[in-house]
């Protein structure tokens, strides 16, 4: 089911790094390093902290840059007494197009449940933005042979009651928790096996059309040194990059991985 041509998507998650001045500088550096041909070849989404979104949006719009603005998180409610939270409708007003949802750090550190993640997916799509749904297993899950059970359970929960059109437009990022920020990376073959199983599961719970169209990313210590091997896999359509995206030169090399393929 990997026969449909899907444009690769490279996403930079800056996490809690860069104030808005630093964000502007990083975007300008990256814009200098990437070419028009790069943006034809891949979609590049940038996910700065909330305080940087307005500055980033203004720069992207004013200079007609080809980056696609994304957010790292949102609350499932539209408004209310949720001090410190940001709703999907607020993000949509800032021309945010992609929103990361269910990142392992949100699940582990802030206790986000599968039910909350599913509600966030609904909220994001209500405002015509695209969720980047993160799924992944812990080291304990992996060692117990529960990788597929854990990952596919998260997929089923998040996609519950979503229409075929909703599902086919999404991005799902497989990010093994044991590989995030550790320097460890799932082998390309291992990542392909899990991501292929995600595509198969999408076909079962939605439709073959949705499974063929949905874009699937890998995340977990992605670097310029391993991007070519990762992107050579038939079901991997992109990467969700953490720490390496903070270095504009390194992130540009990741975005330009195709230049190093035979």
Query: What average pLDDT does the chain have?
Result: 95
Q: What is the pLDDT of residues 219-232, one digit of tens each?
A: 988 999 999 999 99
Percentage of the chain beyond pLDDT 70 is 98
Active site residue 175: yes
Statement: residue 2 has pLDDT above 60? no
Q: What is the pLDDT of residues 110-168, one digit of tens each?
A: 999 999 999 999 999 999 999 999 999 988 899 899 999 999 999 999 999 999 999 99
**Annotated catalytic residue, options 73, 75, 103, 112:** 103
Q: What is the pLDDT of residues 63-77, one digit of tens each?
A: 999 999 999 999 999
State in Å, rounded, how far the first CA of the chain is from the last one: 24
Q: What is the pLDDT of residues 100-126, one digit of tens each?
A: 999 999 999 999 999 999 999 999 999
Cα distance between residue 195 and residue 233, in whole Å: 10
Largest CA distance in the chain: 54
Residue with tokens 């990142």: 103
Report all structural domains of the chain as residue ranges with CATH numbers, in order of start: 9-260 (3.20.20.70)
For residue 238, what are its two tokens?
């992109």
Active site residue 148: no
**Annotated catalytic residue, options 76, 137, 175, 201:** 175
């Amino acid at each position: 089911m990997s026969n449909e041509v899907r444009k690769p998507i490279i996403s930079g998650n800056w996490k809690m790094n860069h104030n808005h001045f630093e964000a502007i500088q990083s975007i300008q550096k990256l814009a200098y390093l990437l070419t028009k041909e790069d943006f034809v070849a891949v979609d590049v989404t940038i996910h700065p902290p909330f305080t940087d979104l307005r500055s980033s949006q203004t720069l992207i719009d004013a200079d007609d840059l080809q980056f696609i603005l994304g957010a790292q998180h949102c609350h499932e409610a539209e408004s209310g007494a949720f001090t410190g939270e940001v709703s999907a409708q607020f993000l949509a007003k800032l021309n945010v197009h992609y929103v990361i949802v269910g990142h392992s750090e949100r699940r582990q550190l802030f206790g986000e449940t599968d039910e909350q993640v599913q509600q966030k997916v609904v909220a994001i799509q209500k405002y015509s933005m695209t969720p980047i749904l993160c799924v992944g297993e812990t080291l304990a899950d992996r060692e117990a042979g529960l990788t597929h059970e854990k990952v596919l359970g998260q997929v089923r929960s998040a996609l519950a009651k979503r229409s075929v059109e909703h599902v086919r437009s999404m991005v799902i990022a497989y990010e093994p928790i044991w590989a995030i920020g550790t320097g460890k990376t799932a082998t390309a073959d291992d990542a392909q096996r899990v991501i292929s199983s995600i595509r198969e599961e999408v076909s079962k719970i939605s439709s073959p059309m949705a499974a063929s169209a949905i874009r699937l990313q890998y995340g977990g210590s992605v670097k310029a040194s391993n991007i070519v091997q990762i992107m050579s896999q038939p079901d991997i359509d992109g990467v969700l990059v953490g720490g390496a995206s903070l270095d504009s030169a390194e992130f540009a090399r990741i975005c330009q991985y195709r230049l190093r393929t035979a």
